[in-house]
Each structure stands twice: as structure tokens, then as C-alpha cells.
Amino acid sequence: MNKKIQLQDLGQKDYKSTWEYQEELFKDVVDLKIKNRREELDLPTPNYFLFVEHPHVYTLGKSGDLSNLLLSEKQLEAKGATFYKINRGGDITYHGPGQIVGYPILDLENFFTDIHKYLRLLEESIILTLQEYGLECGRSEGETGVWLGVGTPFARKICALGVRASRWVTMHGFALNVNADLGYFDNIIPCGIRGKAVTSLQVELGVEKVDEAEVKAKILKHLTDLFEAEFV
């Protein structure tokens, strides 16, 4: 089992080209697994983790409802945003500057074969990171992601999750609002959930700007521990 994860920070990168790059890596891992089984080989499968920040974009998961996008094509253009229907789980979400997006392309057979556990550990890495900033956060029953104020009238989402998996290989991942412009969430019903707010680390801490490199380092530390992995 290969527990090394190749880390790549792509900086700011267009959503579509990043999606295509994910698909390439995903296909390479799946193809190697198929080759191993067909030819009775035992070649180690690679794991990848991409950090990226996207220009303004809305994405709709395969089970999502297009009516949760509250903008017309012209309004999208006026806001400098793009829109894609994609092949992850979940409904609609927003990505943009000031948001840390993480895409793990992992062969879970290198770690454990449990998608539910995988999602919970991704959430846990964010929860532990936010706790380092003194924030009380957790999960909302029946809703993926990481929330603050769960069980109160002031519940607000700070991190969205949406993944795809095939043959135990994952893609897509999480989006953590750090310094994001939350006004862009007003143009959608985030994750199809009405009546719940969205927040950011910057808003919760009441600071001018949060050090994103520091947040990434904390996330990686917790992922290393939770997955018993090594980032290279």
C-alpha cells in the first residue's frame, strides 16, 4: 500500500482546466489498477493532492437542481463568473478567490475502502484546522461539510464537500472559505440548502485577512495524521 501523496499547489487556475487535469490523474490511477488486475501485477498506484484557487465559478453536481442557480447567463457574465455541470456528488456551490480548494486523487485501497469514512476524515481535517483558530465547529446531521453554530438559528457553513469515486479512486474534494467574497453565495442556494448562511474564516475571526499558506499547512498536518500518510 502506497501511503505517499504527491502534493501540488496549482495557485490560481481556471476551473475547467483544473477539472481536466484531475480527470487525467484520475484516469491514470484507474488504468493502472485495471492493468494490475488484468495482468496480475502489483505495481503501486500513485496518490495526488491538489491545492488550487479558482476564479469566480459556480458548479452543479450530478444530482443538483439547476434552479438553485439564481443568475441568468447574462448575469453570470456581468459578475465575471462561469458555470459548469460536473460529475461530483452534491448540489451547487461557488468557488472563487480567497477560498482554499483541495482535490485529493487517492486510491483508497492504499488507505481504507470506506467512502463514508473518507468524507468524515476530510471534514475532520477541516474541523481540527478551524479549532486551532479557536472556532467551535462540527457536522450538521444529514448534510456534508463543516458548519458553525449547528443546532442554533445561526447555523452557517464554512466548508463544502463534494466527491466522486470509482474503483476506490477519488476526485473533487473540499472548498474552505478563508478570505472569500461571500456576496457570491447570494446568487445560489448553496448546496441546495435553504435558510442557512455561509461564512468564512476571515469573518469569524474578524480580521482583515487570514494567512492562507498557514491554513494550508494546518490542513496538511491533520490530513497526514488522519490518513497516516506522507505528503511528498
Distance, in Å, from the CA atom of 89 to the CA atom of 169, rounded to the nearest integer, reads 14
Angle between helices 115-131 and 212-227 (to 10 degrees): 140
Q: Is position 89 annotated in a ligand binding site?
A: yes
Burial 196-226 (b: 16+ CB within 10 A, else e): bebbbbbbbeeeeebebeebbebbbebbeeb
Q: Is position 34 annotated in a ligand binding site?
A: no
Q: Is position 94 annotated in a ligand binding site?
A: yes
Catalytic status, residue 159: no
Q: Is position 161 annotated in a ligand binding site?
A: yes
DSSP class per residue in 161-175: EEEEEETTEEEEEEE
Q: Is position 120 annotated in a ligand binding site?
A: no
Beta bridge partners of 59: 84, 93
For residue 177, the 8-state DSSP code is: E
Q: Is position 78 annotated in a ligand binding site?
A: no
Grid cell of 71 as nine digits: 443568475
Grid cell of 37 as nine digits: 488486475
Q: Is position 91 annotated in a ligand binding site?
A: yes
* Beta carbons within 10 angstroms of residue 112's beta carbon: 14
Catalytic residue among 69, 158, 191, 219: 191
Distance, in Å, from the CA atom of 188 to the CA atom of 194, rounded to the nearest integer, reads 10
Q: Is position 15 annotated in a ligand binding site?
A: no
Identity at 58, one-letter amino acid code: Y
CA distances from 138 to 9, 17, 117, 163, 218 (A): 27, 32, 15, 19, 17
Q: Is position 174 annotated in a ligand binding site?
A: yes
Q: Is position 106 annotated in a ligand binding site?
A: no
List binding-site positions: 88-95, 160-162, 173-175
Mark the binding-site residues for substrate, compressed into ranges.
88-95, 160-162, 173-175
Q: Which residues are catalytic?
A: 191
